[in-house]
Amino acid sequence: MRGLFSNGMRTRALALAMVLAVWFVAAFGRLVHLQILKHGRLKAEVLEQSQDDMEVLPKRGTIYDRNGKILARSLPAQSVFFSPLKSESATGQMEQVIRLKDLLGLSEKDLSRIRTRLQKKDTFIWIKRKIDPEAAGRVMALNIKGIFLQWENKRTYPLGTLAAHVLGGVGIDDNGLAGVELQYDRLLEGEKGRRLILRDARRRSYQFETLKEAVPGKDLYLTIDETVQYIAETELEKAIAACGADWGTVIISDPKTGEVLAIANRPVYDPNDYPPAVPGEGVNRAIQHTFEPGSTFKIVTAAAARELGKVGLGETYDCREGSISVGGSPVRDHKRQGILSFPEVFIESSNVGAIKIAQEIGERNLFQMIKAFRFGERTGIDLPGEEYGICRPLSSWRKSSLRIAIGYEISVTAVQLLGAMNVFAARGRLVRPSISLGTGVGGRSGAVNQEPLKVLSEGTASELVEIFMRVVEEGTGLPARLEGFEIAAKTGTAQKLDEELGRYSSARHLASFVGFVPAHDPVISMIVVLDEPKGLMQYGGQLAAPVFRDISARVLRYLRVAPRPKTETLVTAKMAKAIRP
C-alpha cells in the first residue's frame, strides 16, 4: 500500500511538473512573441492610444496703422476637440458629438466631416475651432466623455470692416488668404511649434508637453492712416447711397513718397468673417478691377504733347463742330465748344480737341508716353492680385485706336491712374505706391524703397499742373473747389461698352476724378471712381469731384494743413451749369 501511495505521489508530482513546464514554455513563448516579434507594433499601438504629436500654431504678428493703432491682432481662444474611446462604437461616438450640435452651431457639413474622421478611427478630431468663452464654459459643463478644450489664437479685426480690402483675411489656421495678411504671410505667421499630447488609458484627462516652442510672428506697420481711411470710407458710402453706383473706390496717397494713406471700396466685407459670404465683396477694386478711364486719361495726352510732341501752349483747335471722325466712328464733345487753346482743351475736357492734339503729336509719341507712365504694367504696390491693365502694342493699333487719347481702347486700374497723376505732383517722377512701412516699433525696418523713375521734365510737369489747376478753378472740375486750397485735377466720364450690342452705351457710365492738393506743395493725392451711377447726373465732374472735395476738406483739417487766407473770389455762373466730364 505504501509503495502504491508513493508511486501515485510521484505520478501526480510529475504531471504537475509537466503542466508547469508546458505553462512556462507557453508563457515564455508568449513573452518572446510579444516582447521581441511584435514589440514594434505593440509599442506603436500603446503610443497611439496614449499620446498624439500635433502642430502648434504661433501667435500671428499684429498689424498697425502708421500711427500705431491696431488694425489686426491675435487673441487667445479655445477650440473643442474629440478623442473617442476605442471601446465605443462609431454610432456611440457620434452620439457624443451630436450633443454639441446646437450649442456650437454645427452644420450638416461639420457633422459629415466628423463622421468621416471617426470612420477612419482618428484619435484627435476638431469639433469647433476658436469659440467664444461663454460657449467654451457651456461645453465643459456638459462633461461629455472624450470632449476637451485647447487654447489657440484667433485673428480679430477690432475696427470691423475698416480697411478690409487692405487687410484681407486669414483661414482657420491663421494662414493669410488676402490683402497684407497674404502679402506678408511669412513675416506675420512666425514659426510653428510641436506639442505632445499625453492621456491616460481611458482618455479621461490630458497633459501637454512642448517639444518645440512656437515663435511668434513679427508685427507690421502700414502706411494706412486709420482716420484718413475712416473719412474715405464714410464719404464713399454717402456718395454711393446718393447716386446708386454699382461700386466705388477711393485711394488716397502721399504723392511725393507713394505711401498709401487709404484704400476704400464699396461693396465691403468684415474680415472677422472671412471669406466674404457675398461673391465680389472681397475684390479690391482699387487694384483688381480694370476699366476704360475716359477723360482722366487726357493727362497722359497732355504730357505727350508737351514733352514729346512739342505742341505749343498757344496753339488753338477748332472744336466748333462738336464731333470728329476717328477710324470711321464719330467722337463727340459733351457740349459744342468753340476755338480752344491747348490749355482750354483740357480745362473744358474737349474730346474733339484732344483727338486733334493726338493727331498732331502722332501715334508713336502718344504710345511712348503711355509706356513711360507704365500703363499695361503692375505698379508694384505691395498687395496681392494687382491687375496689369491692357495696353496693346503699337503694332496692333487700329484706325480707331487714336481714341486712346481720350481714355478709350485702354484698360487701367485706379491705382495706375492715381500713380500717373502723382507724376505731376512729384515733379515728373513716377513713384511706386506702397502699403507697408516695415516691421519694428513704428515701422521703417525692412521697408523697401525703390528709386523713382523720371517720366517728365520738371518744366513740363509744372506747366501742366497750372493747367490742371484751371480745370478746378474754371473748368469741368469746378464742383471740387475747396475754399483756401488750390487743387490740380482732371475729371473723367467714360461710356461703358455694352457687350451684347457691341457698342458703347449712352446710359451706362463710369465717373472718375483724380487730383492732388495743395497744388504747388501736395500733401495728398486722390482718385475717386464711381461705376454706373443712376439718375440724371452721371458725370465725373458732377459726382466724383464733390467726393474729392468733401474728403479733402476733412483730411486736410485732420492733417492740420492750413488754408490760404481768404481773398475776394468771383463765383462764376459755371457753378450752376451741369458740369460733365
pLDDT of res. 510? 97
* In the predicted structure, residue 388 carries a pLDDT above the cut 80: yes
Joined together, the cell numbers standing for residue 420 give 500717373
Whether 262 and 232 have beta carbons less than 8 Å apart is answered as yes
Q: Which fold has domain 54-220?
A: Penicillin-binding protein 2a (Domain 2) (3.90.1310)
What would the mean pLDDT of 250-268 be, rounded to a whole number?
Answer: 97
Q: pLDDT exceeding 90 applies to what percent of the chain?
A: 72
Give me the residues paired with residue 170 across strands: 176
pLDDT of res. 33? 53
Q: Which residues contact 380 (CB under 8 A, 6 or more apart)?
A: 432, 433, 450
What would the mean pLDDT of 246-251 be, rounded to a whole number?
Answer: 98
Q: Which residues contact 228 (CB under 8 A, 6 or more apart)?
A: 252, 261, 262, 555, 558
Question: Collapsing DSSP states into helix, strand and coil, what is residue 500?
Answer: coil
pLDDT of res. 358? 97
For residue 295, indicate whether it is catalytic: yes
* In the predicted structure, residue 400 carries a pLDDT above the cut 80: yes
* In the predicted structure, residue 25 carries a pLDDT above the cut 70: no
Whole-number Cα distances in Å, 209 to 59, 75, 77, 198: 18, 22, 19, 7
What would the mean pLDDT of 8-18 be, rounded to a whole number?
Answer: 71
pLDDT-derived band at 122, boundaries 50, 70, 90? confident
pLDDT of res. 35? 60
* pLDDT single digits (tens) 188-231: 999 998 877 766 655 555 566 788 888 999 999 999 999 999 99
pLDDT-derived band at 3, boundaries 50, 70, 90? low
* In the predicted structure, residue 160 carries a pLDDT above the cut 70: yes
Average pLDDT, the chain: 89
60-74, 182-196, 271-285, 565-579 — which is least confidently predicted? 565-579
pTM over cut 0.85: yes
Whether 57 and 192 have beta carbons less than 8 Å apart is answered as yes
Joined together, the cell numbers standing for residue 464 give 501742366
Q: What are phi and psi of 273, to 5 degrees?
A: -120, 60
* In the predicted structure, residue 566 carries a pLDDT above the cut 90: no
Q: pLDDT exceeding 70 applies to what percent of the chain?
A: 85
Whether 552 and 519 have beta carbons less than 8 Å apart is answered as no
pLDDT of res. 509? 95
Find the Cα–Cα–Cα–Cα dihedral 101, 102, 105, 110, rounded to 10°. Answer: 20
Question: Collapsing DSSP states into helix, strand and coil, what is residue 578?
Answer: coil
pLDDT of res. 340? 98
pLDDT of res. 129? 95
What homologous superfamily is domain 226-576 in, according to CATH? DD-peptidase/beta-lactamase superfamily (3.40.710.10)
Given 79, 83, 295, 411, the catalytic residue: 295
What would the mean pLDDT of 413-426 be, rounded to a whole number?
Answer: 98
Give the long-range contacts of residues 167-173, CB within 8 A, separation 24 or more: 167/63, 167/71, 167/72, 167/271, 168/271, 168/274, 168/384, 169/271, 169/274, 169/275, 169/282, 170/60, 170/274, 171/274, 172/129, 172/130, 173/57
* In the predicted structure, residue 43 carries a pLDDT above the cut 70: no
Whether 475 and 507 have beta carbons less than 8 Å apart is answered as no
* In the predicted structure, residue 45 carries a pLDDT above the cut 50: no
Query: Residue 401's Cα: distance from chain center in Å?
Result: 33
**Peptide linkage before 518 cis (omega within 30 of 0):** yes
* In the predicted structure, residue 567 carries a pLDDT above the cut 80: no
What would the mean pLDDT of 127-155 be, rounded to a whole number?
Answer: 93
Whole-number Cα distances in Å, 112 to 118, 127, 277: 10, 11, 21
pLDDT of res. 30? 59
Q: Which of 43-52, 140-149, 177-186, 436-445 has the highest mean pLDDT?
A: 177-186
Joined together, the cell numbers standing for residue 62 give 499684429
* pLDDT single digits (tens) 486-527: 999 999 999 998 877 778 888 899 999 999 999 999 999 999
The domains of the chain are located at 54-220, 226-576
Query: Residue 56's Cα: distance from chain center in Å?
Result: 27
pLDDT of res. 497? 86
**Peptide linkage before 452 cis (omega within 30 of 0):** no
* Per-residue DSSP letter, 36: I
Give me the residues paired with residue 131 across strands: 78
Give me the sheet containing 51-56, strands edge to edge. Answer: 51-56, 193-199, 206-212
pLDDT of res. 572? 42
Q: 410 or 27: which carries more pLDDT confidence?
A: 410
The helix (run of H) or strand (run of E) holding residue 507 is strand 503-517
pLDDT of res. 180? 98
* In the predicted structure, residue 145 carries a pLDDT above the cut 90: no
What would the mean pLDDT of 244-265 be, rounded to a whole number?
Answer: 97
Whether 561 and 516 have beta carbons less than 8 Å apart is answered as no
pLDDT-derived band at 42, boundaries 50, 70, 90? very low
Q: 41 or 319: which carries more pLDDT confidence?
A: 319
Joined together, the cell numbers standing for residue 316 give 488753338
pLDDT-derived band at 52, boundaries 50, 70, 90? low
pLDDT-derived band at 58, boundaries 50, 70, 90? very high
What would the mean pLDDT of 324-342 be, rounded to a whole number?
Answer: 94
